[in-house]
Structure 1
Amino acid sequence: MTDPRKTPAGRVLALLDLTSLNAGDDLQSTVDLCRRALTPYGDVAAVCVSPKLVHVARRTLNTLGGRSVKVASVCNFPAGNAPLADVVEEVRKTLAEGADEIDLVYPWRKLKAGEPTGAVELIRTCKTLCGPYHRLKVILETGELDDPELIRTACREAIAGGADFLKTSTGKTAVNATPDAVRVMLETIEEEGGKVGLKVSGGLRTLADAQGYRALVEERFGAGWITPEHLRFGASSLLDDLLRELGAEAKPISTRSY
């Protein structure tokens, strides 16, 4: 049997932000999510939960021996149109609850309407709160922007504001990640120095889905760029497909028992 870290499914697993952002999420569902995050084939990169459940996720992961798994949460979510002061307070509270990473929705509605977005100020303010030890991922909602130039503008504003990652989607709209949008994002990341990461989210259900996007990243930046510091996949059901693949071809590397 193969070391899972050397298989396609194992490599994607290590880049996964295992996500649950449902209205009915509660303490038990979050505990269950954290248990799923710590697989026999290695741990995911992060769990992503609602702000109200960040403390539950952090405590659970620590208790289960998953301290290296990051806790991400969403702010200005999902509409992206909250007042600056409200977003700042939300980010502050979410970090205080124990979040390692903030996924912040960009004010895409204003961009689409041709209005000044205020995005650079918003993102810069939130990144100041995050500091150097907490990642800020900016959700562009590319499926709603649906125009390469608008997507490019959003990318540039997010990078100018200090984003650590550009993220495709909230997963709450009709159109989520697409290869065309990701190509534009990768082009812009490269134009701006290649230091900002990419998170693909929304509609990822199979290893094949993730592999398609991974190939786009590798084509642009090379295999060495592909680490959890540069690439993430945000999904929930994707984990099930990865575990099926790993169960067929890899040996477990973890002996955790709960």
Structure 2
Amino acid sequence: MMEPVHDAAAEARLLISCLDLTNLNDTCAEADVDRLIERAETPDGPVAAICIWPRFVAHARPRLPLGIRLATVVNFPHGGEDVEATCREAEQAAADGADEIDLVVSYPTFLRHEGGGPDFVRLQVQRVKEAAGGRTLKAILETGEMRDPALIAAAGEAALAGGADFLKTSTGKTATSATLDTARILLETVRRTGWAAGVKPSGGIKSFEDAAAYHRLANEVMGPDWAGPETFRLGASGVLDDLLAVAGAGPRELPTAGY
């Protein structure tokens, strides 16, 4: 049973510190990245990271305040099989100044190859992490496309074996993004395997209540106070205003759109 939360404002501030503030819209431009950076330093403390397209990493690096990490995506969003191309993406992103790499594992390959799929995912993660110079790597499993809990757990185990630092639910680009059920599977996979790794729900998180539910679930599964910026991230953009409102920095209007 999850512990009741008595101080919503304090929880909202903690959730802000765990937020990967994201703009992966197809229409994103440098001006949008600049606005994202401005939003990342909030009246209630900085977010954990911004997450942007690789083509904007070099632009964002000198503009991003110290203490906020710079994340980007590779093999995004479709999870292709070309490991060499993905490695080149990761290498360039690292050279441009990325701190973290969110890799879409080749979930179509994993699903198609059945027994051989986990080995492909493990090696893909390992190769991409090496190409990125060992930077923090979040393996996006696209759990909404897998559906079967056993498959999700197997993909997570393979990614952890390859060196993933986080298991991430989804790209936010498919019909089903993060759910509490799939987040629980990823958390239980990390706990069961014993790897020192975190979990990142992403996509569809639009309110304080959404974000808090994942935070409380993480602490339920992993233990009290486990969920902090080093182990727990939220991939979202539209939720920030609501978190700030609950933290006391502004009026509350339930977000209706966003990643």
TM-score, normalising length: structure 2: 0.89
Match runs of 1:60-209 below 5 Å: 60-61=63-64, 66-115=65-114, 116-117=116-117, 118-132=120-134, 134-209=135-210
TM-aligned CA deviation for residue 247 of structure 1: 2.7
| 2:19 corresponding residue in structure 1 | 16
Q: Report the aligned-residue RMSD.
A: 1.8
TM-aligned CA deviation for residue 82 of structure 1: 4.1
Identify if the C-alpha distance between structure 1 residues 200 and 163 changes in structure 2 by more than 3 Å, giving closer, same or farther. same
CA distances 1:210-257 after superposition (whole Å, capped 9, x unpaired): 1111111111122332221100001000001111112369xxxxxxxx
2:220 corresponds to which letter in structure 1?
E
Distance in 2 separating the partners of 1:10 and 1:237: 16
| 1:51 corresponding residue in structure 2 | 54
1:193 corresponds to which letter in structure 2?
G
Of structures 1 and 2, the one with the larger relative CO (CA 8 A, separation 6+) is 1
TM-aligned CA deviation for residue 6 of structure 1: 6.7
Check the 8 A contact 2:91/2:133 in 1, yes or no: no
Identify if the C-alpha distance between structure 1 residues 60 and 248 changes in structure 2 by more than 3 Å, giving closer, same or farther. closer
TM-aligned CA deviation for residue 8 of structure 1: 1.3
| 2:240 corresponding residue in structure 1 | 239
Structure 1 moving runs of 4+ over 4 Å: none
Distance in 1 separating the partners of 2:105 and 2:91: 17
Unaligned runs of 5+ residues in structure 1 are 250-258
1:108 corresponds to which letter in structure 2?
Y
* Percent identity for Structure 1 against Structure 2: 43
| 1:221 corresponding residue in structure 2 | 222
Number of equivalences: 242
